[in-house]
Amino acid sequence: MSSTPSPTPSDEERELSTNSSDLIDHETFDQLLEMDDDDEHDFSKSIVWNYFEQAETTFGSMDKALEDKDLEELSKLGHFLKGSSAAIGLTKVKASCEKMQHFGNKKDETGTNDITENDALKKISSLLEKVKDEYKEAETYLKNFYNERENP
């Protein structure tokens, strides 16, 4: 995948694990890795790549829904991506998606107080950029992770 020269596996491992604790929930992700057969990560990788695909599609839909000011759709999309992100263990993305779900329902980020439609759209538009960044971060991490496993 990535052609960037990687440090030695042990360094990489350490570096990633320190960096990624809030990015990824290792308990969840390890559970996926456990399901892999031996050293090959076909299964978890297929899941993760599947997730990437799904996430990219969802971001596209979110952009469009934001353009259409379709809050309800944004809430649904937030819920959807929240689910799959949680399944992989992508904590940050999941949290942001949950906020989007609330904003879409015209609630504040905890889902308790009402906010106006304009507020909601404003909040979502900045949130969407944030969640995309978080996703990119996760994607890079995961791709590196698999790249490194495959090419130690």
Partner 1 sequence: MSNTSGGPDFVKKLFKMLEDESYSDIVSWGINGDSFVVKEIDAFTKTILPRHFKHSNFASFVRQLNKYDFHKIRNSDDSNSPYGEQAWEFHHPKFQCDKRDQLDNIKRKTPANQKKLASNTVNDVSNMTHLTELQSQVNNLTKLQTNMNEHLHALSKSYHSVVQDLLNFQKNMVAQDQLMQNLVQYLVNLEAGNYNNNHHSSTSGENMTPFIPSDQAQKLINSYTEVARASFDQMNEISRRAQSIHHIANGEINNPCTSLSDSNSNTSNESLELLPLRSNLSDDNTGNINTSASSESVSPKNYISPQSNSAASQPAETINISNEYSHNIPDTMINLHPSDNGLTVLTVGHLTPRQSQSSSTPNLLPIAISSNNSNSSIPHIDNTSPQRASNTMRVHRSTFVPAWSVPPKVLLVDDDAVYQNIGSKFLQVFGCAIDIAVDGISAVNKMNFEKYDLVLMDIVLPNLDGVEATTRIRRFDPNTPIISMTSNTTKQECIKYLSHGMNDILAKPFTKANLLSMLERYCMHLKVMPNFQNIPRPLGAADRPITTIPNNNNLISSDLTDDNLSENWISNPLTIAGDNSYPFTVLSSDDYIQMVSNVINTSNSMNNGTRYLEDNDDQNQRSRKKPKFEVVE
For the window 94-113, what string marks contact with partner 1 as x by the rule CB under 8 A?
--------------------
Going from the C-alpha of 104 to that of each of 34, 35, 41, 69, 80, the distances in angstroms are 36, 35, 36, 10, 13
Q: Which residues contact 15 (CB under 8 A, 6 or more apart)?
A: 7
Q: Helix or strand or coil: residue 5? A: coil
Using the rule CB under 8 A, is 67 a contact of partner 1?
Answer: no
Q: Which of 35, 122, 133, 140 forms a contact with partner 1 (CB under 8 A)?
A: 35
Using the rule CB under 8 A, is 33 a contact of partner 1?
Answer: no
Using the rule CB under 8 A, is 9 a contact of partner 1?
Answer: no
Q: Which of 4, 37, 112, 116 forms a contact with partner 1 (CB under 8 A)?
A: 37
Give the Cα separation of 88 and 132 in Å (integer). Answer: 16
Q: Which of 76, 130, 143, 149 forms a contact with partner 1 (CB under 8 A)?
A: 76
